[in-house]
Structure 1
Amino acid sequence: MKVIHAKDYNDMSRKAANIISAQVILKPNSVLGLATGTTPIGAYHQLIDWFKKGDIDFSQVSTYNLDEYRGLSHDDPQSYHHFMRENFFDHININVANTHVPDGSNPNAEEACSEYDKIVAAAGYPDLQLLGIGNNGHIGFNEPDDHFSKGTHCVNLTESTIQANSRLFDRIEDVPRQAYTMGVQTIMYARMILVIASGAAKAQAVHDMCAGPVTPSCPASILQLHTNCVVVADEEALALL
Structure 2
Amino acid sequence: MRILVCKDYESMSKKAAQIILSQVTLKPNSVLGLATGSTPIGMYKNLVDMYKNGVVDFSDIITFNLDEYYKLPITNDQSYHYFMQENLFNHININPANIHIPNGMADNIEKECEEYENSIKDAGGIDIQILGIGRNAHIGFNEPTTSFEKGTHLVDLTPSTIEANARFFKSEDEVPKKAITMGTGSIFKARKIVMLACGEDKADAIYNTVYGKITPKIPASILQLHDDVVLILDEAAASKLSPSDYLN
TM-score, normalising length: structure 1? 0.99
Which ranges of structure 1 fall in alignment gaps of 5 or more residues? none
Secondary structure of residue in 2 paired with 1:75 = coil
What is residue 167 of structure 2 aligned with on the other side? 167
Tell me by how many angstroms 1:173 deviates. Answer: 0.6
Measured in 2, the distance between the counterparts of 1:174 and 1:200 equals 27
- What is the CA distance between 1:59 and its match in structure 2? 0.4
Deviations, residues 45-84 of structure 1 (Å, cap 9, x unaligned): 0000011000000000000000000001222211101100
Question: In 2, are the aligned partners of 1:63 and 1:98 still within 8 Å (CA)?
Answer: yes
Q: Is residue 189 from structure 1 mapped to residue 189 from structure 2 by the alignment?
A: yes
Aligned-pair CA distance for 1:118: 1.1
Moved more, 57-66 or 107-116: 107-116
Question: Taking structure 2 as the reference length, what is the TM-score of the superposition?
Answer: 0.96
Question: Equivalents in 1 of 2:118, 2:19: separation in Å?
Answer: 27
Aligned partners of 1:226, 1:124: CA distance in 2, in Å? 18
- Give the corresponding residue for 1:141: 141
Distance 2:174 2:145 in 1: 25
One-letter identity of the residue aligned with 2:86: E
**Matches for 1:8-47 after TM superposition, within 5 Å:** 8-47=8-47
Hey, what's the Cα distance between the residues in 2 that align with 1:80 and 1:107?
Answer: 18
Matched, 1:54 2:57: no
The residue that corresponds to 1:108 in the other structure is 108
2:225 is matched with which residue?
225
- Please report the RMSD computed on the Cα atoms of aligned residues, expressed in angstroms: 0.7
Unpaired segments ≥5 residues, structure 2? 242-248
- Per the alignment, residue 177 of structure 1 pairs with 177
Aligned residue in 2 for 1:75: 75
Instruction: Give every structure 1 segment of 4 or more consecutive aligned residues whose post-TM-superposition deviation is greater than 4 Å.
Output: none
Displacement of 1:108 in angstroms is 2.2
Could you tell me which residue of structure 2 aligns to residue 92 of structure 1?
92
Q: How many pairs align?
A: 241
The SS at the match of 2:133 is coil
Q: Which moved more, 1:23-32 or 1:67-76?
A: 67-76
Q: For the residues of structure 2 that align with 1:24 and 1:73, how far apart are their CA atoms?
A: 31
